[in-house]
Chains A and B, each alone.
Chain A
């Protein structure tokens, strides 16, 4: 693994965590309406998976998708503005928290009906297959979504036609408030892929390096035309299902057990544990002693004041995004008609 990656991972995981914490505040202050499904605890999945993706890959996500959008490259300003329902939001203020879209980043939406991501993903994959491009489609879903008919229908078609899709299960063990052993006869999601001949693996979703590594390997196979792959990431959300859910169905002990495995804390620990000494850098295959020393110093700085600076920089980005969203204009009714009928003014339909 390249040396910059752990720093990028840490940076993006902190961006994700701090943004969602801020969004929870904005929600309680009434700046965000509707349902708000937050991601803390699951960052290592989004960050690892999406760092392993290429810019040309398509992403299809669920209603817990702010961080997927963020890591996929959608600007924080556009995300927060959308959550505030503003005209400059990434969906023009028409979609809100559960429907982030950004065509430029091939972010094909957050979907609020459980099980909708699979067919959209295999459809995009069908287009990729017809064009013969080395692109992949990343399809997110939760453990609660594997009992929808579309899961089975779409896995079958993806395998049958060897479509370039990576199915990414974020198994946080809960279908809203129902624990997995109470909603699924087979609780290891990856085993279900075997029924369709799709190679699948279970990955520690709290370890960002593992999520990155396994995704990278799977995507290489998908892009090489070897058909779909499925990865099940074992993870955990610290909060309730949405801001409307206090999460009282989980014991304090259970939550704290997973918080102890906190992916961000783990990443910070691993950075300091693997603080690069000359031998490590040499083993990484870096070419010159000078480069090694420079990086050594760089990484050394990050470990102390560098981290504080990183946090401050992230805080600044969030502040900027929230201010931008607050100042942004609301969409007009004209905008709504345009969103519904973007092509109509140019056509004589009647």
Chain B
């Protein structure tokens, strides 16, 4: 067990899989000589050479598609898309090709392709560099999506993604890259899509994922000071979602709060709210509540940027109102 940053954990995972399996290759912009924009591929070029750690041109559509073809021909490519935002240029390869070829071929072709993409709201990167794309990808049958929030999960879930025979999207968060946490490289990993209860509580269930799960934990501590004992579930995965862990919790607490960084409208939280309402309707003492980003592109302005995405205080205020039966004015501007 040692303390690693999130990027170091991802780096160790890549290194371990590349050492174990010659068919694992890494490709993307600046992943080789430069070591990756977020240092995730640091040292791999020197260890595994230019053919297995391939610096690509700025051609997202085609190098992601190259990953698809290479996966069909027996490699296990790990495509790094520098940020989620650039994945929009590769959606044809991801949605039309990677997600559908196993199906369209009647199951003949596996798709052992991993696509890593850091994203989320960082520090004033403005509208075109601050997006979350989970809503788009979750709606695509044929993709698996993991959203690690800790270095340990980053390590485990990237290794599992590379070993999977399906296309797995690893949605990283740019602000998590330099966060530290304990990583045990020898411990047995839980299944890649199992949710985890990060904090036990009996007054309400907060369901979250990625960086927002960490924010929910901060909110839970604030709530504890107010006498509210919140349970925090980190989903770890957005497709498939481990409903059972959520159902067990909501059936006990009777209150469901969902915290997400993505825009509220048609976001991940909408699916979580709908599915858990279907499953737990009679146990719920109030309608589920979502704390999400406003339905706006990210403003460049620092204050505004902080205002549009949920802060721990927002989560705590919403939780308090939910369990006390108060109404929260929704910020619907449409």
Contact = CB atoms under 8 A, between A and B. Distances in A.
A90 B69 CA distance: 19
B197 interface: no
Contacts of B303: none
Contacts of A128: 73
Interface in A128-159: 128-130, 149-150, 153-154, 156-157
A344 B240 CA distance: 11
B103 interface: yes
A300 interface: no
A124 B57 contact: no
B255 interface: no
Contacts, number: 172
A121 interface: yes
Interface residues of B, number: 52
B74 A101 contact: no
A161 B237 CA distance: 36
Nearest to A331: B106
A343 B165 contact: yes
A39 interface: no
B35 interface: no
Contacts of A348: 191
Interface in B89-125: 92-93, 96-97, 101-110
A339 B70 contact: no
Interface string B58-95: 01011111111111111101000000000000001100
A350 B73 contact: no
Interface residues of A, number: 53
Contacts of A127: 69-70, 73-75
A291 B242 CA distance: 72
Interface in A94-129: 94-95, 99, 101-103, 108-109, 111, 113, 116, 118-129
A119 B107 contact: no
B275 interface: no
B246 to A, nearest CB: 11
A127 to B, nearest CB: 4
B191 A349 contact: yes
Contacts of B307: none
A123 B61 contact: no
B59 A123 contact: no
Contacts of A251: none
B139 to A, nearest CB: 14
A153 B56 CA distance: 10
Contacts of B211: none
A109 B104 contact: yes
A312 to B, nearest CB: 33
B153 interface: no
A60 interface: yes
Contacts of A90: 106
Contacts of B105: 91-92, 94-95, 99, 101, 103, 109, 339
B230 to A, nearest CB: 23
B71 A123 contact: yes
Given A123-B71, A153-B61, 10 more contacts: A60-B69, A99-B104, A101-B101, A108-B72, A127-B74, A153-B62, A154-B65, A157-B57, A349-B191, A350-B242
